[in-house]
Structure 1
Amino acid sequence: MAKKAIKSKNKKQVSSAGTKKSLAKKSNNNKNALFPQIKSNRIIILASVAILLVIVLNALFRRYFIASVNGRLIARHQLYSELEKKDKGKVLEDIITKEIIFQEAKNNNIKISRDEITSELAKISESINQQGSNLNDVLALQGMTLEELRENIEIQKILEKLLQHKISISDEEIQQRFDDNKSSYSPETKYDDVKESLKAQIFQEKLSDLYRSWIEEKRTNLKVKYFM
């Protein structure tokens, strides 16, 4: 009887140990099956967060910037500050054109001093005064501020320095211009009296023609991007 009891007890112990091993094995299998699932879920979450972040950053980028020229960004506020006065598309093109000109000036080490601008401004003011008006009234009629005029003078001076080497004016051209417009001068006016002013007039005309082809070429070659 004692032997049977011992055998029965041993069988129970073996059975219990087998059950524990089986449960431990199942537990390990469950853990091994669960880990890949957790890793997969984590990857999906991280990918979703990354995509969301890109979308948010892109939205913020487009909110604050409207275009770029050669990678240099143009802020939306530059456009909106002038929208009340001009057409939106024209304003943007004007801003881009200015940015191209200023970049070209920097690339060619061209700087316009404040004294140069002030000197040109004084000439303009004097010319207007001689016509019986004043600069402030003319600016008001044009819907322009003094600061905008100063910027326009700076741009004009930059273009002159950028393109003047491509412009040539012969004495024959100046003489022809004088002869063609003799009727607009008083009989006492001589060629030498107006030669320099005629030369400056022809220069500005040629500069204007040259500028149109030059800026078109720059806009084609430079990297201009729109974010609208």
Structure 2
Amino acid sequence: MAKKVVSPKKKIVTVSAPIIPEPSMVSPIPKLSPKILTLGLVILGIALLTYKVGPYFVPAIVDNRPLTRFEVWSRLEKSYGKQTLDDLVNEKILDLAIAQSGVSIPQAKIDDQIKTLEKQFEGSGGLDQILSEQGLTRAELTKQVVTQLSVEEILKDEVVPSEEEIAQQFADNKDTLYKDKKLDEVKADITTELTQTKLRDAFLTWFAEVKKTAKVKSFGL
């Protein structure tokens, strides 16, 4: 007699539909304010810069708050920006005027002037010490020497004192600066003094004319 085959009962799996909340029940994802996002990026950038390049961009940290080099530059610009800009503009104008004059100073003359300065400051710690205190380098000093010698060369025909001027200078000061001295004894000193005075006056007049012809566009700070 054949056996009855009993089929296994099928399990019925009920799948619940996903519960989709009503839009009103879901809190919207807060949007970042552009200002907050920008501030965060700035702080992150400062942190990375501090880590990678340290004091170049962040020269100081006060109570874990960075003092950026930009802040330092900004303060310096407000305090000295206008004067510094004017100085740099005048320097460029002077350099251009010297170049256009065609004046060339021999290296030997430059070296002699540097040696004179070295000898002058031997008793004050040396020329390099003086330069360090003034925040100058040898290269910057050399440039200043070249500029001075170039101006003297350009204006040399206007700064030679006459014999009459020398005699008058002696007469005006014979009872004070040159008391008990003869003209021949102090003539060289008087000549140097008058030359420097005339050079200063001639330079101011000459440079004022140079500035009139210079094309300068200043956009302010």
CA contact (8 A) 2:170 2:178 kept: no
Counterparts in 2 of 1:92 and 1:142: CA distance versus 1, 3 Å: same
Are 2:198 and 1:206 equivalent residues in the alignment? yes
1:194 corresponds to which residue?
186
1:227 corresponds to which residue?
219
Counterparts in 2 of 1:179 and 1:143: CA distance versus 1, 3 Å: farther
1:157 to 108, 124, 149: 149
Unmatched tracts of structure 2, length 5 or more: 1-72
- Give the secondary structure class of the aligned counterpart of 2:217: strand
CA contact (8 A) 2:178 2:186 kept: no
Q: Percent identity?
A: 30
Q: Which has the higher helix share?
A: 1
1:110 corresponds to which residue?
103
- Give the secondary structure class of the aligned counterpart of 2:91: helix
Greater RCO (CA < 8 Å, at least 6 residues apart): 1
User: TM-score under structure 1 normalisation?
Assistant: 0.53
Give CA deviations for 1:9-65 in whole Å, capped at 9, x if unaligned.
xxxxxxxxxxxxxxxxxxxxxxxxxxxxxxxxxxxxxxxxxxxxxxxxxxxxxxxxx
Are 2:113 and 1:120 equivalent residues in the alignment? yes
Q: Structure 1 counterpart of 2:209, which letter?
A: E
1:176 corresponds to which residue?
168
User: TM-score under structure 2 normalisation?
Assistant: 0.55
Give CA deviations for 1:86-118 in whole Å, capped at 9, x if unaligned.
922222222222222222222221112332211
CA contact (8 A) 1:101 1:158 kept: no
Q: Structure 1 counterpart of 2:102, which letter?
A: N
2:47 corresponds to which residue?
none
Give CA deviations for 1:99-158 in whole Å, capped at 9, x if unaligned.
2222222222111233221111111222333xx323233333433332222211111111
Number of residue pairs matched by the alignment: 143
CA positional deviation for 1:196: 2.5
CA contact (8 A) 1:174 1:198 kept: yes
Q: Structure 2 counterpart of 1:98, which letter?
A: E
Q: Structure 1 counterpart of 2:201, which letter?
A: D
C-alpha RMSD over aligned residues: 2.7
Moved >6 Å (runs of 4+): none
CA positional deviation for 1:211: 1.5
1:18 corresponds to which residue?
none
Structure 1 CA distance for aligned equivalents of residues 98 and 189 of structure 2: 27
Unmatched tracts of structure 1, length 5 or more: 1-79
1:135 to 127, 138, 159: 127
CA positional deviation for 1:219: 1.4
